[in-house]
Amino acid sequence: MTNHKGFLESFKDKKILICVGGGIAAYKVCTVISQLFQQGAQVEVILTDSAQQFITPLTVSTLARKQAYTDADFWQPIHPRPLHISLGEWADLILIAPLTANTLAKLVYGMADNLLTNTILASNCPVVVAPAMNTEMWLQESVKANWTKLGQNNRFIPLHTNTGLLACDRTGQGRMAEPEEIIAALESVIHTGGKKDLKDKNVLISTGGTREFFDPVRFIGNPSTGKMGIALAMACHHRGAKVTLVGANVAPELLKNLPPLQLIDVTTAEEMEKAMVNNFSTSNWTIMAAAVADVKPRECYKTKLGKANLPPYIELDTVTDIVAKLGKMKQPEQLLIGFAAQTGDIVTPALDKLTRKRLSAIVANPIDKINVGFGTDTNEAIFITADGQKTTLQPSSKFSLSHQIIDLILGQLV
């Protein structure tokens, strides 16, 4: 059995250059700078002249614990080497946020008239770009054309814009990605080097916990929150996949920062079965991370029963085994990955499930340890393939674990 250490638990010692453009969304970048520093990253910051109309060099210098650079520094011969060359060679990763329409056009056409654009041309590392602008600006044909061209350059990793209330008091597209989304994207890029190794893949993922109702307020369920499946969906999206996420009873706050993907909301095992079966034939990979009920009450009452009217026992029926059904449908070119949440010995029941349900691989994870399993932000697992390879994944964030699972699928199953 291989012992697979967590690849990425923090940004420790990563050299990240943050370039701040002019726009009210610049205030969000302060959170990104602060969190990256707290997670151990080395952070340098460039502020454009227009960015300084919204946040000051003193603010970001305080958060990064380093001098913030401006065009005033660019034109001063006070550095041992040209500043844009030094910063460009130093950076492992660059973030431009907010990316304005003006800077977008400059990047597309290779213009270099300030410290930010000169540094981009003097560097070779991946560049994550987070645009922000008024809806009318974002939807202009010229801006859309530039955005498409930039995305065709493999160096640049474009983040989506959100829809919401803008500084102009309009609700629409153009709102910059939230700090949590930006940091997740940066983590993915550090892990993959910016490669889109799931490009052209359709990935179907289930998550959350199904509920089988006895009456309108009582149900048979489980503690799954859906965090593992959401982390898998984000990691697959960042690596270029087209993702369909089937979520059972996932709290809205966990879904608010999801990247653009198809989200299907379900409640019961029957609803999840329908959604998974309907989308299975077009999926290259299917990852069944949801916790699905095994049984349901034979009768579901339409009104709440009072305590005096509760039956002495509840008759139960089994529900369809979704992953086993998908296993029978699976074509040779498809991959079907299951999850097995277990107590005690996690390997033996996972091996049984792997074989019996015709899975390509299974992720066995304990739920009887502290900070592991349902509802936590961290997890650990053993990845087992159909040919018997076992790889231990050490405790890590669920997002980091997701990237490790994807790496193992690519390395052992593809």
Distance between CA 411 and CA 414 in Å, rounded?
Answer: 6
Contacts of 255 (CB under 8 A, 6+ apart): 230, 247, 263
CA distances from 170 to 35, 94, 178, 233 (A): 29, 30, 18, 30
Distance CA 244, CA 263 (A): 6
pLDDT band at 173 (very low <50, low <70, confident <90, very high): confident
Q: How far apart are CA 378 and CA 396, in angstroms?
A: 5
Tokens of 271: 């609803």
Topology of the domain comprising 2-192: Rossmann fold (3.40.50)
For 30-46, how does the pLDDT look when each residue is reduced to its tens digit (9 = 90+)?
999 999 999 999 999 99
**pLDDT value at 166 more than 90:** no
What is the per-residue pLDDT for 167? 75
Q: So what's the pLDDT on residue 174?
A: 86
Q: What mean pLDDT is predicted for residues 251-268? A: 93
Residue by residue, DSSP assigns 384-411 as EETT--EEEEEEEEHHHHHHHHHHHHHH
Distances (CA, A) of 47 to 99, 193, 352: 12, 25, 57
Decide if 115 contacts 147 (C-beta within 8 A): no
Residue 151 has a pLDDT of: 93
ω before 98 within 30° of 0 (cis)? Answer: yes
pLDDT for the residue numbered 81:
83
Q: Is pLDDT at 168 greater than 60 in this prediction?
A: yes
Task: Say what the pTM is.
Answer: 0.92
Residue keyed to tokens 């009873």: 249
**pLDDT value of position 5:** 41
Instruction: Give me Rg for the CA atoms of the chain.
Output: 24
DSSP reduced 3-state for 247: strand
Confidence (pLDDT) at 243: 98
pLDDT of residue 260: 87
pLDDT (average), residues 297-320? 93
pLDDT (0 to 100) of residue 9: 56
159 half-sphere exposure, CB direction, 13 A CA radius: 32
> C-alpha angle 272/273/278, rounded to 5°?
100
Cα distance between residue 24 and residue 133, in whole Å: 9
Structure tokens belonging to residue 146: 């530039």
Return the percentage of the chain with pLDDT > 90, whole number.
89
Residues of the chain with CATH 3.40.50.10300: 202-412
pLDDT at 2 over 60: no
Mean of the per-residue pLDDT values for the chain? 93
Q: Indicate if 168 belongs to the active site.
A: yes
3-state secondary structure 84-109: HHHHHHHCCEEEEEEECHHHHHHHHH
23 CB contacts (<8 Å, ≥6 apart)?
50, 51, 54, 98, 100, 132, 133, 176
Which strands sit side by side in the sheet containing 15-20, from one edge to the other? 68-69, 42-47, 15-20, 93-99, 127-131, 156-158
Looking at domain 202-412, its CATH superfamily turns out to be: CoaB-like (3.40.50.10300)
- The pLDDT value recorded for residue 409 is 98
Q: What is the DSSP string of 292-350?
A: --SEEES---SSPPPGGG--SS--EEE---HHHHHHHH--TT-EEEEEEEESS--HHHH
Selecting among 19, 168, 236, 300, the annotated active-site residue is 168
Q: Which one-letter DSSP state was computed for residue 52? A: G
pLDDT confidence tier of residue 3, bands split at 50, 70 and 90 = very low
What is the per-residue pLDDT for 78?
64
Residues of the chain within CATH 3.40.50.1950 domain(s) are 2-192
Length of the chain: 414
Distance CA 39, CA 327 (A): 41
- Give yes or no for residue 7 having a pLDDT over 60: no
Q: Which amino acid is at 279?
A: N
- Please tell me whether residue 277 adopts helix, strand or coil conformation: helix
Task: Tell me the average pLDDT across 219-241.
Answer: 96
